[in-house]
Amino acid sequence: MEQLPQYRKLYEQLRKHITNGVYRKGDILPSENELCNVNGVTRPTVRKALDLLANEGFITKHQGLGSVVNKIPKGIGILSIKGTTSAVGSENLSTKVIVKPKVMQWPENFPFPLTETELESGCIYFERLRLVDGEPFFYDITYIPNINLPRFTSYKLDNVSLFDTLREHFKLEIKGGKQHFKAVMPSKNIQDQLAIKDNQPIIQLQRKLSTNRLNFNFYSELFCNTEVYALSGGF
């Protein structure tokens, strides 16, 4: 894999330390100066890594005191820029591909406007069931424009981070996106897949993710059963 920028390497290291329990809620991270010395980088680089952690809710910075580790949310931290696999420890979350990736036309009445290029190229479509502690938690339908992604349909996606796959094989990085939340009653199919009891509402989350490739976005639609676990995130 290609070289990551130093601020990102530090960010991932600290993030892993937090999710692995090296630092726990209430702990104070090493100071910015200490992180400089230990990692051989300068303060703006350290601060950029810490800013990412703060943006995602892992830490809270306090002027004069330090960077305090927050409690990692028990729910699925789905609002961060990272995908779900890295938001919780991968031992809690597993993925089952229900509909394998296939190339098809975009569905009618797609919730996001599509460019002409996207429309013409069709999309790679697949459905995944995500389980937390073995229980179905959300159902994820993904649409990726079928543009310059050779042999994507042959990649295995069970228990694999889609974002990692996109990064490693296609040099695609998620840069941001937007998302819409709605509370809905589930369709029969979703009710079956998520094992939802009658009259239990679910959250429908529609996301458009932008990437480092210009004019290349992809889309996902998730249905989440929030009866046991809330959807959560920091900001």
Partner DNA sequence: AAAATCAACTTGTATATACAAGTAGAATGT
Partner DNA sequence: ACATTCTACTTGTATATACAAGTTGATTTT
Q: Which residues within the stretch 65-104 sit at the binding site for its own copies (CB under 8 A)?
A: 65, 70, 73, 75, 79-81
Query: DSSP letters of 110-163?
Result: -SS---HHHHHH-EEEEEEEEEETTEEEEEEEEEEE-SS-TTGGGS--TTS-HH
Which residues in this chain contact DNA in the complex, by CB under 7 A? 5-8, 29, 31-34, 40-45, 47-48, 50, 61-67, 213-214
Q: Choosing among its own copies, DNA, none, which partner's interface includes residue 132 (Cβ < 5 to 8 Å by kind)?
A: none
- Which structure tokens are listed for 186? 């589930």
- Report the C-alpha gap between 180 and 186 in whole angstroms: 17
Which of 49/205 has CB closer to DNA? 49
Run of H or E including 165: helix 162-170
Among 174, 118, 173, which Cα is nearest to 146's? 118
Is residue 17 near its own copies by the rule CB under 8 A?
A: no
What single letter denotes the amino acid at residue 90? S
Tell me if 227 sits within 8 A of 195, measured CB to CB: no
Residue 188 CB, nearest approach to DNA (Å): 43
* Binding partner selected for residue 45 from DNA, its own copies, none, CB under the kind-specific 5 to 8 Å limit: DNA
**What are residue 59's phi and psi, to 5 degrees?**
-135, 160
- Least spacing, CB of residue 17 vs DNA, in Å: 15
Stretch that binds its own copies, among 8-16, 131-139, 141-149, 225-233 (CB under 8 A): 225-233
Between the CA atoms of 111, 117, 122 and 128, what dihedral angle is there, to the nearest 10 degrees?
-50
Subset of 195-214 contacting its own copies (CB under 8 A): 199, 201-203, 206, 210, 212, 214
Interface with its own copies (CB under 8 A), residue from 129, 157, 177, 191 = 177
Residues near its own copies (CB under 8 A): 44, 51, 54-55, 57, 60-63, 65, 70, 73, 75, 79-81, 175-185, 199, 201-203, 206, 210, 212, 214, 224, 226-227, 230-235
